[in-house]
């Protein structure tokens, strides 16, 4: 599908995992941007049929113009990689063009030996957690299943404090995402064990590797027992695609989390909706409206109608809906008018260092 968007003289390759690269030969930047738009449209229109359900697929694209300002191949690849991260941080399903003058800052991150860095950070617990509050937007309705979300950051001795967008993709490619999840869990439980006066409930992100790991629940159970922290203090964010994929191992982990007394929230709701039958069997305690939909507000009737549909879905499932990335007063007012009950974001409270 991607190859159909480029010329015969261009080169398409798979770098590994879900990463692809395209070399556009003799191509001006403006034409490269048009190629990126064509690829976005092709992937956006694609639907994956799997076990009677249809799934949307997303892509983020980073562009680097080979105009002589990059010293070598590694710097050019680092520039494209940095632009791809920028596209992800902008909400995904978009492209960004790298500015060569930013190469010096971006190259160490994009070209680093992530395996060594991540393993060292996990072993030495060079990880930080930031808490962002979840607040009610409207009166009444079901209470939020958690009071704050915890975000993981990497404390690297050379690169400083790194946000998840800089290292999570590398962790997934190197099969270290599950180890990161466990390290974060350990910090959370050890911290809560030393703060008996903190009665808030916290949300942690749980990736697909941990969800599919049949050892994660026994590990969680053992750590809860060792620290004395009540399972009800924890909730877990599960990506909607993982939750609705119909994989037995993931369903078992989600059910096990709830059986322990933890809450389960479905994240990224709205980025490709599954068939109604999948939602009927969903075992969860809340839905999280994807930040890209929130950033589109106030928008027009289409944007507002989409968000209102998610609010209606939450009502039909009797689940609270939490909007992510609430950054402006206009977004906040639109969410309140559309019936979204809870939110988190800069407009409601910035993340603060927690552990």
Checking if the pLDDT of 121 tops 80, the result is: yes
Tokens of 29: 């930047």
At 207 the three-state DSSP class reads coil
- pTM of this prediction exceeds 0.75: no
Residue-level pLDDT at 270: 73
Question: Does residue 105 register a pLDDT over 50?
Answer: no
User: pLDDT digit string (tens) for 124-141?
Assistant: 999 999 999 999 998 777
Distance CA 55, CA 47 (A): 5
Hey, which of 25-29, 51-55, 181-185 has the most confident mean pLDDT? 181-185
Mean pLDDT for 14-23 is 86
pLDDT at 171: 87
The pLDDT of residue 331: 94
What pLDDT does residue 89 have?
66
Contact between residue 13 and residue 6 where contact means Cβ atoms under 8 Å apart: no
Adjacent-strand bridge partners of 205: 237
Burial of 157 (0-12, 13-18, 19+ CB in 10 A): exposed
Helix (H) or strand (E) holding 156: strand 148-156
């Amino acid at each position: 599908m991607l190859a159909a968007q480029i010329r015969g003289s261009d080169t398409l390759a798979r770098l590994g995992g879900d990463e692809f690269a395209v070399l556009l030969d003799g191509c001006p930047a403006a034409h490269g941007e048009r190629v990126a738009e064509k690829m976005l449209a092709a992937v956006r229109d694609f639907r994956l049929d799997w076990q009677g359900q249809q799934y949307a697929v997303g892509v983020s694209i980073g562009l680097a113009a080979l105009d002589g300002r990059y010293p070598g191949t590694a710097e050019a690849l680092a520039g494209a990689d940095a632009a791809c991260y920028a596209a992800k941080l902008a909400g995904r399903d978009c492209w960004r063009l790298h500015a060569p003058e930013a190469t010096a800052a971006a190259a160490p991150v994009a070209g680093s030996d992530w395996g060594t860095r991540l393993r060292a950070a996990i072993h030495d617990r060079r990880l930080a957690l930031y808490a962002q509050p979840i607040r009610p937007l409207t009166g009444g309705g079901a209470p939020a299943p958690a009071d704050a979300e915890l975000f993981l950051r990497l404390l690297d001795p050379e690169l400083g404090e790194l946000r998840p967008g800089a290292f999570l993709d590398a962790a997934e490619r190197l099969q270290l995402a599950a180890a990161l999840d466990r390290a974060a869990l350990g910090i959370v439980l050890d911290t809560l064990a030393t703060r008996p006066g903190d009665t808030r409930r916290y949300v942690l992100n749980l990736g697909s590797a941990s969800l599919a790991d049949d050892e994660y629940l026994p590990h969680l159970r053992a750590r809860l027992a060792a620290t004395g922290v009540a399972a009800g203090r924890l909730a877990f964010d599960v990506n909607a695609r993982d939750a609705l994929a119909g994989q037995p191992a993931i369903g078992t982990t989600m059910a096990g989390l709830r059986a322990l007394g933890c809450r389960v929230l479905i994240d990224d709701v709205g980025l490709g909706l599954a068939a109604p039958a999948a939602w009927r069997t969903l075992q969860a305690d809340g839905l999280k409206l994807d930040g890209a939909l929130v950033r589109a507000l106030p928008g027009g009737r289409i944007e507002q109608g989409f968000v209102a549909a998610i609010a209606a879905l939450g009502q039909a499932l009797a689940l609270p809906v939490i909007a992510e990335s609430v950054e402006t007063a206009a977004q906040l007012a639109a969410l309140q008018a559309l019936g979204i009950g809870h939110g988190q974001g800069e407009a409601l409270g910035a993340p603060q260092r927690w552990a």
